[in-house]
Amino acid sequence: MVKEKLYLEWFANKLKVICKIITYLSIIISFSIFIYIICIELFKKTLILDTFDVPKELQEKGYTNKVLLNKLNDQIKKIEEITIPTTTLILLAPRS
């Protein structure tokens, strides 16, 4: 009976230690993920386009500032698709 009680106390202490380790690891992992996400957002290249007035000629053709911003955004995406692969190729190319 005494041996069984000592074993249960030992086992309970081991479980406490394991719970502490799991808690600390989860805190460290959560903090690391949080820092990683913040770093990604800080170094993300974004372009913020402010609204602007549409010239009368374009308004008469039915273009609104929202339509023009969408078209401009599409053109920016096309430029990114063209330039990003070439810049990565330049960075990855071996030096001669």
Question: Domain count of the chain?
Answer: 2
74 and 84 fall within a common domain: yes
Same domain, 96 and 49: yes
Asked if residue 51 lies in contact with residue 69, where contact means CB atoms within 8 angstroms, the answer is yes
pTM as predicted = 0.50
Residue 69 sits in which domain range? 45-96
pLDDT digits (tens, 9 = 90+) for 46-74: 777 777 788 888 888 888 888 888 888 88
Exposed e or buried b per residue across 35-54, where buried means at least 16 C-beta atoms within 10 angstroms of its C-beta: eeeeeeeeeeeeeeeeeeeb
CA-to-CA distance for 5 and 48, rounded, in angstroms? 67
Write down the H helix ranges in the chain: 2-42, 56-60, 65-92
Question: What pLDDT digit, counting tens, does each position of 1-43 carry?
Answer: 777 888 889 999 999 999 999 999 999 999 999 999 999 888 8
